[in-house]
Amino acid sequence: MSHQTAVILDFGGQYNQLIARRVREQGVYCEVKPYTTPVADLRAMDPIGIIFTGGPGSVYDPAAPQVDPEVFRLGVPILGICYGCQLLAHHLGGRVTPAQSDSAREYGKTETFFDTDCKLFRGLPPQSVTWMSHGDYMEKVPPGFCLTAHSAACPNVAISDEARGFYGVQFHPEVNHTAQGAAILHNFLYEICGATGDWTMGDYKETAIRRLREKIGTGKVLLALSGGVDSSVAAALLAEAVGQQLTCVFVDHGLMRLHEGDEVEAAFSKWNIRFLRVNAEERFLSKLSGVTEPEAKRKLIGQEFIRVFEQEARKLGQVDYLAQGTIYPDVIESGAGDAAVIKSHHNVGGLPDCVDFREIVEPLRMLFKDEVRQLGRALGLPEYLVSRQPFPGPGLAIRCIGEVTKEKLDLLRQADFIFRDEIAQAGLGESMNQHFAVLTNLRSVGVMGDGRTYDYALALRSVTTSDFMTADWTRIPYEVLDRVSVRLVNEVPHINRVLYDITSKPPATIEWE
């Protein structure tokens, strides 16, 4: 079945995939196309509307991305965002200039006043906050256009030509800081473009499966499965698409949480794929023996993971495609350039050197985390896999401070299970984005029965965050902390003290190592 399509014409802005995601959220299928896409190709897509994205350029710069003016003759509504708005104004007879004064240049949250008679702003409060980020200014509005929003610093925040269905906004409706952003995009799609909301994640699944089949043909695909959300969803999607041509290698490094390896195996053994679980606990623990420095642990685990994976891959012979569960935030982060390395995050799906393959397949590359979870549900993955919190590639090794031993890991597994169990029973799981136990390397004196103990202090960590770059510690009710503490000291041997970590990130990080 074909769906109504919105086209997002990409002029190089940093929020372009976010716009796509916001359109998908409204139940409308969309595709992001480079600004150089020929108008004939756009016409062939029969779009219900086109969104021009923002971009770093200035329209009067000869090197800046331009648009083929034919696009304005397609008879399709257009919404220009930021640079896209200036481009629209520039091409249709307006004038854009660099903002003369600092006050006309706008960055950040800006109180904005809307003309709610304009279809784009219908139903909105007349005044609310938008997110601006522009150095250029629309000095003259193009003929046929009206001004439909302004701010204290800038009279020309939004323009519209309702007869032709052309709209431009200087602010970014796609970012959360724009309070009415979703309503504005909804108006554009539904009131102006005539969207019917005929698209769901289930449809994404069907399209993705069809495309994977076309691309892979009869080729063989290999996927490193970590058991995390992303690689699990990628595996399930590929399993549907190419079945037995897919081999998933799940390296169980012995640093997983309680029952986790078995859960991953149970979930995947029912798919029509070749699933290999490599039990490599001994191998990893012997490598980690005597290692206490966090970065050294990470590097060793990352290297060993690749080595085990390569060994298994070699046994399979020729592989055509290496599949990875890369998601859009990974794509952005890896492009982050010279950001300081705080911790060398090792991606368990990292690229092995000696697997000979033709190409990489990354079917989730354009999706955000919550969309990946929705797709996982549409594919029928169990909820505990789909809604799983992030779990670091090096696993419990970086939650077991100091030397990592099997004994300490077993203690930690048990303690971590109890903490998560109590949080689930208290119905608090949804209120935190990550929670886990950390086995500190600190031992202290306690008393149990009539005897002295000298045992480990266990730390509990729970954070609330939207992007994991900054985080706040969760205010867990005392009575829940109390239940956890009582169970831990009673049920887990060698733990005689329980601490709750009340540091935010920064200055702390979420993990302890």
Catalytic residues: 82, 172, 174
Beta-carbon-side half-sphere exposure of residue 352 (alpha carbons within 13 Å)? 27
Stretch that binds ligand XMP, among 85-93, 212-220, 322-330, 386-394 (CB under 6 A): 386-394
Stretch that binds ligand XMP, among 12-20, 266-274, 362-370, 503-511 (CB under 6 A): 503-511
Residue type, 274: R
How far is Cα 65 from Cα 30, in angstroms, rounded to an integer? Answer: 21
**Smaller CB separation from ligand XMP, 325 or 394:** 394
H runs (alpha helix) in 358-477: 369-378, 383-386, 406-425
- Kindly tell me the sign of the dihedral angle through the C-alpha atoms of 19, 76, 186, 363: negative
Which strands make up the sheet holding 321-323, listed edge to edge? Answer: 274-279, 246-252, 221-225, 321-323, 359-361
Could you tell me the smallest distance in angstroms from the CB atom of residue 394 to ligand XMP?
5
Stretch that binds ligand XMP, among 249-257, 308-316, 339-347, 378-386 (CB under 6 A): 339-347
How far is Cα 460 from Cα 443, in angstroms, rounded to an integer? Answer: 16
**Smaller CB separation from ligand XMP, 282 or 295:** 295
**Smaller CB separation from ligand XMP, 24 or 298:** 298
Among 88, 371, 392, 453, binds ligand XMP (CB under 6 A): 392
Number of shown-chain residues binding ligand XMP (CB under 6 A): 15
- String marking each residue 344-373 x if it binds ligand XMP according to CB under 6 A: -xxx--------------------------
**Smaller CB separation from ligand XMP, 301 or 379:** 301
- Asked if 509 touches ligand XMP (CB under 6 A), the answer is yes
- Asked if 299 touches ligand XMP (CB under 6 A), the answer is no
- Asked if 468 touches ligand XMP (CB under 6 A), the answer is yes
Helix (H) and strand (E) counts in the chain: 14, 20
Could you tell me the smallest distance in angstroms from the CB atom of residue 5 to ligand XMP?
35
- Asked if 95 touches ligand XMP (CB under 6 A), the answer is no
How far is Cα 479 from Cα 470, in angstroms, rounded to an integer? Answer: 27
- Asked if 378 touches ligand XMP (CB under 6 A), the answer is no
Instruction: Give the residue from 145, 187, 157, 142 showing the smallest Cα distance to 51.
Output: 187
SS3 content of the chain, % helix, strand, coil (to 5): 35, 25, 40
- Asked if 390 touches ligand XMP (CB under 6 A), the answer is yes
- String marking each residue 416-435 x if it binds ligand XMP according to CB under 6 A: ------------------x-
- Asked if 227 touches ligand XMP (CB under 6 A), the answer is no
Q: What is the dihedral of CA 345, 348, 354, 358, to 10 degrees?
A: -110
Name the token pair of 366: 């354009």
Locus of tokens 């208290």:
426
Could you tell me the smallest distance in angstroms from the CB atom of residue 231 to ligand XMP?
10
- Asked if 505 touches ligand XMP (CB under 6 A), the answer is yes
- Asked if 393 touches ligand XMP (CB under 6 A), the answer is yes
E strand residue ranges, 36-77: 49-52
How far is Cα 389 from Cα 438, in angstroms, rounded to an integer? Answer: 16
Instruction: Give the residue from 175, 231, 172, 205 showing the smallest Cα distance to 390.
Output: 231
Q: What residues make contact with ligand XMP under the rule CB under 6 A?
A: 298, 343, 345-347, 390, 392-394, 434, 468, 505, 509-511
